[in-house]
Structure 1
Amino acid sequence: MAAKFEVYQDKKGEYRFRLKAGNGEVIASSEGYSSKQACLQGIESVKKNAADAKVEELSGD
């Protein structure tokens, strides 16, 4: 099973998305958006930008 994005409304009425791995585990979740369209644009941004994103390790010091 492939990963999938789920779009939903939270208790405050904001739209959010979560990215689930093929095994059903949530691997990312979004901020709240005021509209469904803005939420869908957030998903497209993740799809477009995540593939080339750098990984930075932050020190706890």
Structure 2
Amino acid sequence: MSGDYILKRSGEQFMFNLRAGNHQVILSSQRYASKASAQQGIESVRKNAADDARYRRLAAKDGSAYFTLVAANGEIIGTSEMYTTTAARDKGIESVKVNGPDGVVKDET
């Protein structure tokens, strides 16, 4: 089973989630003012997902591991969930690398 993007409304704004084949959310976007901007965000994930240098491996204040995916200009494209271990976070990154480039878009707007 391959992953997908869920494009949806969040109030008056738009956002997307990238899900793995098991339907678990592996990356969430910021909120965008327009649907077109959210769609551009999806294209940016597709373009940058395979490049390991685009991932920032981080730790929250409570020690939870997470990552962000950034574009060439350093802007954050998406943020992961919180993981209990760095190994789990790294598996999340690998999942984005696999599912990001080719995930189909499911438009729920």
Tell me if both proteins adopt one fold, taking TM over 0.5 as the criterion. yes
Query: How many positions carry a matched residue from both structures?
Result: 59
Structure 1: 4+ residue segments shifted above 6 A? none
- Structural RMSD (CA): 1.8
Identify, as 1 or 2, the structure richer in strand: 2
The higher-RCO structure (CA 8 Å, 6+ apart) is 2
Give the Cα separation in 1 of the matches to 2:8 and 2:58: 32
TM-score, structure 2 normalization: 0.49
Identity of aligned residues (%): 42
- Give unpaired runs (5+ residues) of structure 2: 62-109
- Code of the residue aligned with 1:15 in structure 2: it is F
- Give unpaired runs (5+ residues) of structure 1: none
TM-score, structure 1 normalization: 0.83
- CA gap of 1:58–1:28, structure 2 versus 1, over 3 A, is closer
Shift of 1:56: 4.9
